[in-house]
Amino acid sequence: MRAATGRLPGPMDATARALPAPRREVVPTSVLGMLLLVGAEVMFFAGLISAFTITQAGARPGTWRLPSEPVLPAAATAFNTTALLASGLLLVRAGRQYRREPASATNTVLLAWVLGAVFVVLQGREWIGLLGQGLTIRSSTLGSFFYLIVGAHGLHAAGALVGLGVAWWRLRQGTLSPGFLLGAQTFWYFVVGVWPVIYGRVYF
Amino acid sequence: MRVVVATAILGLAPRAALACSACALAGISDNAAAYVSMSLVLTALPLGMVLGVATWLYRNIRRADRHATGSISS
């Protein structure tokens, strides 16, 4: 192809054409991938909560209750919820610290992880209490929904804790990439953000 | 002939034809509001998420463009 100046194209022009256009990363690939996963997960939980809501609305009076108590332990779970929300806020702070000085975020990420672990452990303790009261996955429709929805969230929280733990370890070693931290943050924000919806819908 | 009779019966007594298994409780409980609200949520949620991500990407691209223009001019 002839250049606009009228001269014949030289070998340098061919090299320039062969080079790909410079690419710029508008959004880290890890975050975009995580957002796609989170979108699918949001619809998964929306489906479960939708089924729960419709079944609860259609339940015969007096059948939507625990074997020994009329309601789920919402007050005790409020503490777990506070721990999880605090963990999310701490991770926001850790992200800001990481952008300024990566090493300064180490303790904040660890504290966020510990609060997340506290949530999972206390949820497990609550399950043991409910199983002791006779609420099993087969005892009632409420029990089935409760263990399915809250259990699915617990599994997600445990998985997110693994990711956050790896992020903390790499941060400590000085090998953490911003993309990995953002991916772990995105998933943890999903775990934190979906919980108040589950808590408000299932426990009350 | 059977089809005509069946259609006539269903036409005269539509309440007996609860073909939808999920609608079995329609007559004994007031869960219509739950159906409607959850249908709205499940319809709006994916659209809202796609719109939100698209807006976020658009803003990031605009911001990157501004940075690129700023670095070239300076």
Residue A103: name the closest of A90, A94, A116, A113 by CA. Answer: A94
pLDDT of residue A82: 96
User: Smallest Cβ distance to A50: which of B33, B42, B61?
Assistant: B42
Cα A71–chain centre separation? 27
Report DSSP state, residue A60.
P
Alpha helices in chain A (DSSP H): 11-18, 29-58, 74-100, 106-132, 141-173, 178-202
- Determine what percent of chain B falls in helix, strand and coil, rounding each to the nearest 5: 80, 0, 20
pLDDT of residue A202: 92
Q: In this complex, is the C-beta atom of B7 within 8 Å of any C-beta atom belonging to chain A?
A: no
Distance in angstroms (rounded) separating the CA atoms of residues A174 and A180: 13
* CA end-to-end span of chain B: 85
Q: Inspect the interface and report whether the beta carbons of B34 and A26 lie closer than 8 Å.
A: no
pTM of the model: 0.80
| Residue boundaries of the structural domains of chain A | 30-202
Q: Which CATH number fits domain A30-202: 3.40.50.620, 1.20.120.80, 3.40.50.150, 3.40.50.970?
A: 1.20.120.80
Q: Does B47 touch chain A (CB under 8 A)?
A: no
The first and second tokens of residue A9, run together, are 């194209």
The number of distinct structural domains making up chain B is: 1
Domain that holds residue B40: 2-73
Q: How much is the pLDDT for A2? A: 39
Looking at residue A3, its pLDDT comes to: 39
Looking at beta carbons, which residues of chain A come within 8 Å of B49?
39, 42
The answer to whether B71 contacts chain A (CB < 8 Å) is no
A178, A98 Cβ separation under 8 angstroms: yes
pLDDT at B1: 84
B7-26 tens-digit pLDDT: 887 777 766 555 565 555 55
CA distances from A8 to A5, A13, A17, A51, B72 (A): 9, 10, 15, 70, 30
CA pair distance A191, A42, nearest whole angstrom: 10
- Reading the block at residue A54, the tokens are 């419709």
Residues of A in contact with B29 (CB under 8 A): 57-60
pLDDT at residue number A4: 44
pLDDT score at B64: 85
Report how far Cα A104 is from the mean position of its chain's Cα atoms. 23
Residue numbers of chain A with a pLDDT score lower than 70: 1-18, 21-22, 70
